[in-house]
Amino acid sequence: MGVAFNLKKFKKVYFETSASASFGIYNRFKAVGSKHILFGSDSQVVSPIQLEIDKILTLPISNEVKQDIFYNNVNKLTEFCRK
C-alpha cells in the first residue's frame, strides 16, 4: 500500500485489479481513490473472470465507485480514441 500512497501525487498513474486480493484492492482504493483504479483480469490464467468480478462487487464501496472501477475510468482514459 505504501507504493500507492507514494504514487498518488502522479495524476497519470493508474492501478488495475488483476490477480489482487480483495483487501489489496480496497487498500489501494483508500490510498488513491476510485478514479485511478481500473478493472483487470488475468482470467483463465490466474483465476476465472467471475472471481475477478466478485472481488469488486463484494467490496464495501458504493455502486458508483464500482462503476468507476469497472467502466468509467477506462472509458475516460480511452476517450481520445473515439474522437
Q: Which distant-in-sequence residues (6+ apart) come within 8 Å of 20 by Cβ?
A: 28, 55
Per-residue pLDDT tens over the stretch 33-46: 999 999 998 777 77
Phi, psi torsion values for 16, nearest 5 degrees:
-120, 160
Secondary structure (H, E, C), the chain: CHHHHHHCCCCCCCEECCCCCHHHHHHHHHHHCHHHEECCCCCCCCCCHHHHHHHHHCCCCCHHHHHHHHHHHHHHHCHHHHC
Per-residue pLDDT tens over the stretch 10-38: 788 899 998 889 999 999 999 899 999 99
What is the domain partition of the chain in residue ranges? Answer: 2-82
Question: Model's pTM, two decimal places?
Answer: 0.86
